[in-house]
Structure 1
Amino acid sequence: MPEPVKVVIWDLDDTFWRGTLSEGAIEALEENLDLVRDTVARGIVHTIVSKNDFAAAEAKLIELGIRDMFVFPQISWQPKGPIIKRLLEQMQLRAPNALFLDDNPINRAEAQFYNPELQVADPADLATLAPLLRASGKPDPGLSRLEQYKLLERQQQARSTYQDNLAFLRDSQVRIHFRKGEAVLPDLDRIEELINRSNQLNFTKRRVKKEELQASFQDANRRWGTVCVQDRFGDYGLVGVYCLNLSDYTLEQLVFSCRILHLGVEQFTYASLGFPQLEVQGEVATELNQTDRPDWITLEADESAATPLSSENAVTKKLRVLLKGGCDLGQLTPFLQAFDLAVEEEFNYVNENQIPVHVEHTALLKGGREWPETEHKRLAASLPFLGEEAFQTKLWNEAYDVLVYSPLMDYTQDLYREKSTGHLIPFGGYNNLIAADRATQAAKFAKRRFRGMDEAFLQRFQQEFTFEGQLSPEGFTANLRWLRAQVPAHVPIFFLNGAEIEVPGSGETGAKARHVLMNQALADFAAQAYNCFVLDVRDFVHTPADVTNNLRHYQRQHYRTLAQRVAEAIGQWHGRQLEHSSWVDLKARAVSLVPAKLRGLWQKL
């Protein structure tokens, strides 16, 4: 047998059994019954192409106790060659992996004429072939492969009743579940099998050894994931695997089992990953594109990985919103709470050195995600403007339904590269610490009562770091792709862009032009990324009177407007208008007008 046999196609009369069914009694051949049972338990599937009456043949197979071992039986009086060709298409198998057994040489010749690479044999050859078949495949005592083909058979039978394929897909109730990170480790053997044995839907065709695969799982620069699929016909199990290289957002592996062919699973997965770069190798059965996301597929969240943000939320079932950005966004929370939302905040904080630390720059998020804990501790101890909590974030715990994220620190902060490690660290903005006069800069820090930012530190900093400047639009886009890949695909990301106005006296030269540049990069990214949206503050922040000390801090009334825009966008994504409390909104408006020192007392009322 030149290629492994995955399916055996049986003729019945004088092949599977002795005699002709339509002419009278037949004699069962126990060796053939045993061969089918033994090889099904090795993952080989069996089907029938026979010229016979279907009802009579099926009744005899049931009588022999073997009917359940066959899938896709083709029993009719039609020519066998075209039937086998159509059968292999339905089973999504290649002719070289099929063996056709028939006592009639004319039937065998016809079958090969229509299927040139088909393996054929006379039943007299079974004495030689049977030991080879029994040694093929691998143990499958649970008959899982047979069950998968029965599922496919049910699906194909249902599909044939529809004239509109899209209607069939919508009625199929296809559901996808992604696993990633440590959740893929128990499936090492299945992942290795998919990568090395799949061809029709193997887009990358990078074969791997199991040892290499295990090592790659530990690589922080690579994100492995698996794809599990169900529909109303049954559970297909783990049918896909991908590997993203996060440094350049390139797919190194994208492989699927052919059992989900024509369901749109490959395109849905590609879209859910944000259409990363993909160099398709060789021929594949599906052509992917950079735009479509099949809307007949439902993405199921990994509920076991998420934990409620609060006991109140577990009772109310409110949408859980993580609000991440500068602390000015805290002014959104009271207004958002007027809607049917449970809001969790993650803003900048004042560290142990009395220095405000922004924790939302994408470079810092990448460092927190990818660098080892020892590096976090070292940098926190050596750089006073970081501190112990700089690398901590709630982004990765999956305990939220919606992420509202302001990337304005990517617009603002400068990046410094550590010479010894290449680590990029964000700090400040519109001010080069490397080129600054140390005495003057230290005096400014002392005036602000920052501890540890003295001349000695600045001297060491200038020796150990180089100034990279603000993140480029290209680097920003790459980091956004990385962030989208880290946040669960079912969680939408609502980005808050920046105002585009001149603010006299802010000391941030070129800030408006910088915002114009980065806003465009953000808009371009969100236009092609899956489940990403931009909320445009330029709709209501137009003039210097609309901001306070810089173009990132808005007048109080605008935060209410922004909160309403956020709630409206979340409602549209969620498919329903969020419930709203006028009393809570009125209270929030009143609190926003109260001086900060008195707000705590008012909020207790």
Structure 2
Amino acid sequence: MSNVQSLQKKQQKIKCIIWDLDNTLWNGVLLEDSTVTIRKDIVDIIKVLDSRGILQSVASKNEHTLAIAKLKEFGLNDYFIYPQINWNAKSHSIKAIAESINIGIDTLAFVDDQPFEREEVNFELPEVLCIDALDISNLLDMPELNPKFVTDDSKIRRHLYLNDIKRKSIETEFVGTQEEFLASLQLNMTISKVKKGDLQRAEELTVRTHQLNTTGYTYSYEEIDELRKSDRHMLLISGLEDKYGVYGKIGLTLIEKTEDAWTIKLLLMSCRVMSRGVGTIVINHIMNLAKQANVDLYAEFVTTDKNRMMYITYKFAGFQEDHEDGDFILFKNDLSFIQPLPDYITLTIEE
């Protein structure tokens, strides 16, 4: 690994840590000894990571039914989302977990006692941070596993994802159109100005959200606090809930205002709400506000290898390229057509 790659790995913040089982989470090999014992301090470590908002999963070469039963026996099964317990290569299982959660490979860490398994993952997925099981006692002190803030959303992140798993299962079995399914969820979205209590989550959203992000601009807690107080800016945060529970604060929008023009500097949405159409709803709300203010509406966009969906969202809302410079695009919307709010969602605007 080059020094640059090593530095990048040290600097990255981990969103999900993936555990091996045999001689990692517990002492011994389950298929050889059904009385394996849980590793010292592992339960406390898992609970602390969970409280920090770091998701956890399993990639283990094992017999699925036996391993799940053992995790339940130890009271740990509910801590792991999308566990991959099979005989596939560990890199294959890790990719499956990333795809299921819909997060980047470079936000994953993998803990395993076997050098061969870590090397296989490092070769196939060099972005993954591989950790020797011998170093488990140091996990909680690693900077990659210590987020700057632990927000209200962080504390319940696992439960938010468990609710999403439930929704996906129901959607798979639902007989009807996508719009009919969305209507069955009884969705309610809120858009409000960022308040002081939202600042930590707002910063977290800019740091964590890459796919549904129009520019990738990041802002510190202090910068966001200044922006929310600025007369030249509008800073909005979005929340979503349905009959199965809350999604949390899932979106952030920054608008720069002049006397005759508004520019959307940042629009981002959590990947967990990709299929709910909420990006379009936020854009339409801003378009309505701009039309009422009688100003021109622009939007900045910076192309990345992950945010194609947001480009499509802008185009779908009627934005046209006004200026291009490399990966940078300045969109403009003439506000001649603003789509009505879909019937399947209720929108609440809060001051």
1:166 deviation in Å?
3.3
Contact map agreement 2:18 2:59 (CA 8 A) in 1: yes
1:291 deviation in Å?
6.0
Which residue number in structure 2 is paired with residue 23 of structure 1? Answer: 32
Counterpart selection for 1:175 from 187, 193, 207? 187
Which residue number in structure 2 is paired with residue 322 of structure 1? Answer: none
1:169 deviation in Å?
5.3
Counterpart selection for 2:129 from 107, 110, 119? 119
1:167 deviation in Å?
6.2
Residues 159 and 530 (structure 1 numbering): CA distance in 2 closer, same or farther, change over 3 Å? closer
| SS of match in other structure, 2:252 | strand
Residues 164 and 125 (structure 1 numbering): CA distance in 2 closer, same or farther, change over 3 Å? farther
In structure 2, how many angstroms separate the alpha carbons of the residues matched to 1:281 and 1:165?
33
Q: What pairs with 1:256-275 in structure 2 (closer than 5 Å)?
A: 256-274=269-287
In structure 1, how many angstroms separate the alpha carbons of the residues matched to 2:123 and 2:184?
36
In structure 2, how many angstroms separate the alpha carbons of the residues matched to 1:84 and 1:525?
45
Residue type of the alignment partner of 1:237: G
Contact map agreement 2:232 2:257 (CA 8 A) in 1: yes
Determine which structure has greater relative contact order: mean sequence separation of CA pairs < 8 Å that are 6+ residues apart, divided by chain length: 2
| SS of match in other structure, 2:235 | strand
1:117 deviation in Å?
1.0
After superposition, the C-alpha distances for 1:45-97 in whole angstroms (9 at most, x for unaligned) are 21111122333222211221222222222222333322211210211222222
1:200 deviation in Å?
2.5
Which residue number in structure 1 is paired with residue 120 of structure 2? Answer: 110
Report which stretch shifted further, 211-220 or 31-40. Answer: 211-220
Residue type of the alignment partner of 1:122: D
Report which stretch shifted further, 262-271 or 58-67. Answer: 262-271
Residue type of the alignment partner of 1:260: V
Residues 290 and 59 (structure 1 numbering): CA distance in 2 closer, same or farther, change over 3 Å? closer
Which residue number in structure 2 is paired with residue 42 of structure 1? Answer: 52
Which residue number in structure 2 is paired with residue 281 of structure 1? Answer: 302
Is 1:237–2:248 an aligned residue pair? yes
Counterpart selection for 2:156 from 111, 125, 144? 144
- TM-score, normalising length: structure 2: 0.73
Report which stretch shifted further, 185-194 or 33-42. Answer: 185-194
1:27 deviation in Å?
1.6
Which residue number in structure 2 is paired with residue 253 of structure 1? Answer: 266
Residues 33 and 159 (structure 1 numbering): CA distance in 2 closer, same or farther, change over 3 Å? same
Is 1:218–2:229 an aligned residue pair? yes
In structure 2, how many angstroms separate the alpha carbons of the residues matched to 1:152 and 1:208?
28
| SS of match in other structure, 2:17 | strand
In structure 1, how many angstroms separate the alpha carbons of the residues matched to 2:254 and 2:69?
48
Residue type of the alignment partner of 2:61: K
Report which stretch shifted further, 171-180 or 263-272. Answer: 171-180
In structure 2, how many angstroms separate the alpha carbons of the residues matched to 1:54 and 1:270?
45
Contact map agreement 1:228 1:238 (CA 8 A) in 2: yes
Counterpart selection for 2:14 from 5, 23, 36? 5
- TM-score, normalising length: structure 1: 0.45
1:172 deviation in Å?
6.0
Residue type of the alignment partner of 1:150: L
After superposition, the C-alpha distances for 1:280-322 in whole angstroms (9 at most, x for unaligned) are 12414323345647xxxxxxxxxxxxxxxxxxxxxxxxxxxxx
Q: What pairs with 1:214-363 in structure 2 (closer than 5 Å)?
A: 214-247=225-258, 248-274=261-287, 276-283=297-304, 284-285=306-307, 286=309, 287-290=311-314, 292=316
1:162 deviation in Å?
6.6
In structure 2, how many angstroms separate the alpha carbons of the residues matched to 1:125 and 1:211?
35
Which residue number in structure 1 is paired with residue 326 of structure 2? Answer: none
Kindly report the root-mean-square deviation, in angstroms, between the aligned alpha carbons of the 2 structures. Answer: 3.3
In structure 1, how many angstroms separate the alpha carbons of the residues matched to 2:68 and 2:185?
31
| SS of match in other structure, 1:5 | coil
Residue type of the alignment partner of 2:60: S
| SS of match in other structure, 1:261 | helix
Contact map agreement 2:266 2:300 (CA 8 A) in 1: no
Q: 5+ residue gaps in structure 2?
A: 1-8, 289-296, 318-332, 344-351
Residue type of the alignment partner of 1:98: L
Counterpart selection for 2:218 from 197, 207, 217? 207
Bigger Rg, which one: 1
Is 1:190–2:190 an aligned residue pair? no
In structure 2, how many angstroms separate the alpha carbons of the residues matched to 1:210 and 1:229?
23
After superposition, the C-alpha distances for 1:582-601 in whole angstroms (9 at most, x for unaligned) are xxxxxxxxxxxxxxxxxxxx
| SS of match in other structure, 2:159 | helix
After superposition, the C-alpha distances for 1:353-372 in whole angstroms (9 at most, x for unaligned) are xxxxxxxxxxxxxxxxxxxx
Q: 5+ residue gaps in structure 1?
A: 294-523, 533-572, 574-605
In structure 2, how many angstroms separate the alpha carbons of the residues matched to 1:270 and 1:279?
13
Contact map agreement 1:195 1:205 (CA 8 A) in 2: yes
In structure 1, how many angstroms separate the alpha carbons of the residues matched to 2:334 and 2:151?
46
In structure 1, how many angstroms separate the alpha carbons of the residues matched to 2:151 and 2:75?
20
Is 1:528–2:343 an aligned residue pair? no
After superposition, the C-alpha distances for 1:509-534 in whole angstroms (9 at most, x for unaligned) are xxxxxxxxxxxxxxx966422449xx
Which residue number in structure 2 is paired with residue 53 of structure 1? Answer: 63
Which residue number in structure 2 is paired with residue 14 of structure 1? Answer: 23
Q: What pairs with 1:566-605 in structure 2 (closer than 5 Å)?
A: none
In structure 1, how many angstroms separate the alpha carbons of the residues matched to 2:54 and 2:127?
18
In structure 1, how many angstroms separate the alpha carbons of the residues matched to 2:146 and 2:93?
26
Higher percent of residues as strand: 2
Q: Percent identity?
A: 25
